[in-house]
C-alpha cells in the first residue's frame, strides 16, 4: 500500500525540523508563514529566534510593529509579518477559530497545515511539493492523517523534486505512474529572467532593512526605483511618512 510505504520511509528519513517537534498552533503558524517562498535552511534559525523572542500568539500581538518588521528582515514579503501579527492579535483576543481561514492573511493551504499539524485534523495541506507528488504518482489518498501530509511534503522536497526526481531513492516508485519517466522542461535562459536585484521587491527589502537598522536609505539605487518602492511600502502600511522622514510603524 502506497501510504504505508510512504509513512515507513518518513519515519526513517524525515528531517529533524523544529516545527515538527510541536503541536502548538502558534508555532506551526509561524513556521508555515516563514516557509512561504523561503528555503528551509534559512528559516530554521530565524524560526527558533522568533519563538524564543515571542513564544505565544499574545506575545507577538503585543509586540511593536517596528520590532516585528525588523525581526522579519531577510525573510522577504514583509507584509507576511504584519498579517501574522494581526492573526495573532485575533487569536489573543478570541482564541483559535474553528475556520482558520477567518484569520488575517491565512489562506486555504496555511489553514489546512495548522489544522492538520496542530489540531490533528484529517486535512491535506497541498503545497507545490505535495501537488507534484500526487500528480506524478496519480494517487488520491482516501484519508490524510497529519503524518501523511508531512510525509508527502518531505518526499516532494527531498526526493520527488521539481527538477531532479530521484526515482531510484523513492519509497513508492513501484507504485508510481511516473517512475523513471519524469521529464523536466529546460530552464529558461538566464538572459530572459529578471535578476532579483532588478526587482521592486528587492528595493523594498533594502528600504525596510535600512529603516530597521536606523540607517539612511540605501545608496546606489535609482531615485525612481527608490521612490516607487517607498510609495508601495507606505500604501501597504510597512513604512510611515512623518515630519522627521520615513520610519517603520510604531
45, part of any domain: yes
**Cα gap 225→100, rounded to integer Å:** 37
Inform me whether the pLDDT recorded for 193 exceeds 70. Answer: no
DSSP readout, the chain? -HHHHHHHHHHHH----GGGG---HHHHHHHHHHTTTS-HHHHHHHHHHHHHH--SHHHHHHS-HHHHHHHHTTSS-THHHHHHHHHHHHHHHH---SSGGGSTT--HHHHHHHHHHTT--S-----HHHHHHHHHHT---S---HHHHHHHHHHHHHTB-SS-B-GGG-TTGGG-TTTT----PPPPPGGGSPPGGGSHHHHHHHHHHHHHHT-PPPSSS-HHHHHHHHHHHHHTTSSEEETTEEE---
Q: Indicate left, alpha or beta for 186 from its phi (over 0: left) and psi (-120 to 50: alpha).
A: beta
CATH number of the domain bearing residue 58: 1.10.340.30
Q: Are residues 109 and 57 in the same domain?
A: yes
Q: Would the pTM count as exceeding 0.85?
A: yes
Q: Are residues 33 and 70 in the same domain?
A: yes
Cα angle for residues 133, 139, 144 (degrees, 5° grid)? 85
190, part of any domain: no
**Cα gap 25→118, rounded to integer Å:** 5
What residues are annotated to the active site?
Answer: 32
71, part of any domain: yes
**Cα gap 34→44, rounded to integer Å:** 9
Determine the structural domain holding residue 173 and report its residue range.
Answer: 1-14+124-185
Inform me whether the pLDDT recorded for 197 exceeds 80. Answer: yes
Q: Are residues 50 and 99 in the same domain?
A: yes
Residue where a domain terminates, one of 85, 119, 153: 119
Q: Are residues 37 and 71 in the same domain?
A: yes
Query: What is the count of structural domains for the chain?
Result: 3
pLDDT score recorded for residue 190? 53
Q: Are residues 54 and 94 in the same domain?
A: yes
Q: Are residues 174 and 210 in the same domain?
A: no
- Cβ atoms within 10 Å of 189's Cβ, excluding its own: 7
Residue where a domain terminates, one of 83, 102, 119: 119
Q: Are residues 33 and 98 in the same domain?
A: yes
pLDDT score recorded for residue 84? 98
CATH number of the domain bearing residue 143: 1.10.1670.10
Q: Are residues 115 and 28 in the same domain?
A: yes
**Cα gap 139→141, rounded to integer Å:** 6
Q: Are 118 and 24 in contact (CB under 8 A)?
A: yes
**CA distances, 236 to each of 77, 232, 240, 246 (Å):** 11, 6, 10, 14
**Cα gap 148→137, rounded to integer Å:** 15
Q: Are residues 107 and 40 in the same domain?
A: yes
Q: Are residues 97 and 172 in the same domain?
A: no
Q: Are residues 37 and 85 in the same domain?
A: yes
19, part of any domain: no
Segment 6-54, tens digit of pLDDT: 999 999 999 999 999 999 999 999 999 999 988 999 999 999 999 999 9
Per-residue pLDDT, averaged over 124-133, amounts to 96
110, part of any domain: yes
Residue where a domain terminates, one of 99, 119, 139: 119
pLDDT score recorded for residue 5? 96
191, part of any domain: no
Q: Are residues 170 and 208 in the same domain?
A: no
Segment 131-173, tens digit of pLDDT: 999 999 999 998 899 999 999 999 999 999 998 899 999 999 9
145, part of any domain: yes
Amino acid at each position: 500500500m502506497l501510504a504505508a510505504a510512504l509513512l515507513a520511509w518518513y519515519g526513517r528519513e524525515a528531517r529533524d525540523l523544529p516545527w515538527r517537534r510541536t503541536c502548538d498552533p502558534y508555532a506551526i503558524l509561524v513556521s508555515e508563514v516563514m516557509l512561504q517562498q523561503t528555503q528551509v535552511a534559512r528559516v530554521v534559525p530565524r524560526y527558533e529566534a522568533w519563538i524564543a523572542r515571542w513564544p505565544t500568539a499574545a506575545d507577538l500581538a503585543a509586540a511593536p510593529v517596528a520590532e516585528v518588521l525588523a525581526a522579519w528582515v531577510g525573510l522577504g514579503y514583509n507584509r507576511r509579518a504584519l498579517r501574522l501579527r494581526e492573526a495573532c492579535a485575533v487569536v489573543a483576543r478570541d482564541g483559535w477559530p474553528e475556520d482558520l481561514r477567518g484569520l488575517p492573511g491565512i489562506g486555504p493551504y496555511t489553514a489546512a497545515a495548522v489544522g492538520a499539524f496542530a489540531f490533528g485534523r484529517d486535512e491535506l495541506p497541498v503545497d507545490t511539493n505535495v501537488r507534484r507528488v500526487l500528480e506524478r504518482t496519480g494517487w488520491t489518498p482516501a484519508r490524510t492523517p497529519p503524518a501523511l501530509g508531512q510525509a508527502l511534503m518531505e518526499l516532494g522536497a527531498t526526493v520527488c523534486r521539481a527538477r531532479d526526481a530521484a526515482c531510484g531513492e523513492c519509497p513508492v516508485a513501484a507504485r508510481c505512474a511516473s517512475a523513471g519517466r519524469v521529464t523536466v522542461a529546460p530552464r529558461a535562459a538566464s538572459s530572459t529572467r529578471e535578476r532579483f536585484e532588478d526587482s521592486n521587491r528587492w528595493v523594498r527589502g533594502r528600504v525596510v532593512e535600512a529603516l530597521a537598522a536606523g540607517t539612511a536609505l540605501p545608496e546606489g539605487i535609482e531615485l525612481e526605483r527608490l521612490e516607487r518602492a517607498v510609495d508601495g511600502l507606505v500604501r501597504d502600511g510597512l513604512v510611515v511618512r512623518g515630519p522627521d522622514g520615513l520610519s517603520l510603524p510604531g
